[in-house]
Amino acid sequence: MAFMRAYNRQGAVHKDGLRTGLKVSGSVDDGGLVELFFGKDGKARLQYDKFIQFMRDLQDEVLRLEFAHYDCKNQGTISAKDFALSMVASADMSHLDKLLDRVEELNNKPHLKDIRITFEEFKNFAELRRKLQPFSLALFSYGKVNGQLTKEDFQRAAFHVCGVSLTDNVVEIIFDVFDSNLDGTLSADEFLRVMHKRIKDVTQPVESGISGFLHNCSIGRFFS
């Protein structure tokens, strides 16, 4: 637990595992999670399959909480605008205002304002985000020579390379937000810059340079 925290930006700040304001004494390493993994006496062995399933369940629960944040009326779906906000929330500050302006315009587009995104669609896009490294390479293979992609290119790359099926509604929203010149194609650079920023904010390692890059790659493969 301490080793993993050392490679995470927030974990490095809270080396003892305690968040600011958390009213407990001692280290959280002796808490319920370790008991779940290693038993009450701490001597049980953690099976790889059990740990991977735990991580998948945890990721699913985090996604449900994020989805519920936008689904404040418990309708089971979220609007196109809210889905777009979830995509651009981690954008670099130098690009955020521009992206938020495009998100605001979605309500003024008849073909988008009534679209509702289900949790399954939301989850599939999150799965694509977790597989961003191979998807990034695929976009340039499936796209045109100049790096511009059509909606069909985007869906094909997601399905054939990452095994993720994106609905037409999800792709329509993505293109409306990240098609800066409104020519019906997507600039891969702009889309990937925002997606990479979100991943970097969550898993940014303490190291910099090539060692940090390799660590990020290994973490991404482990939890995919």
* pTM (2 d.p.): 0.69
Mean pLDDT computed over 185-192: 77
Does 64 have pLDDT greater than 60?
Answer: yes
In sequence order, the 6+-apart residues with CB closer than 8 A to the CB of 65 are none
17 touches 27 (CB < 8 A): yes
Q: Which two tokens stand for residue 138?
A: 């695929």
Lowest mean pLDDT, pick from 23-27, 52-56, 81-85, 173-177: 23-27
CB of 143 within 8 A of CB of 149?
Answer: yes
Query: Per this entry, what is the length of the chain?
Result: 224
Q: For residues 102-122, give the mean pLDDT.
A: 90
How far from each other are the two terminal CA atoms of the chain, in whole angstroms? 20
pLDDT of residue 209: 41
User: Sorting pLDDT into bands at 50, 70 and 90, what band is 200?
Assistant: low
Name which residue leads in pLDDT, 92 or 153.
Answer: 153
* pLDDT tens sequence across 155-168: 988 999 899 999 99
Percent of the chain with pLDDT over 90: 25
Q: Residue 4's pLDDT band (boundaries 50, 70, 90)?
A: low
What integer pLDDT is reported at residue 205 of this predicted model?
A: 46
Per residue in 19-36, pLDDT tens? 555 454 555 555 577 788
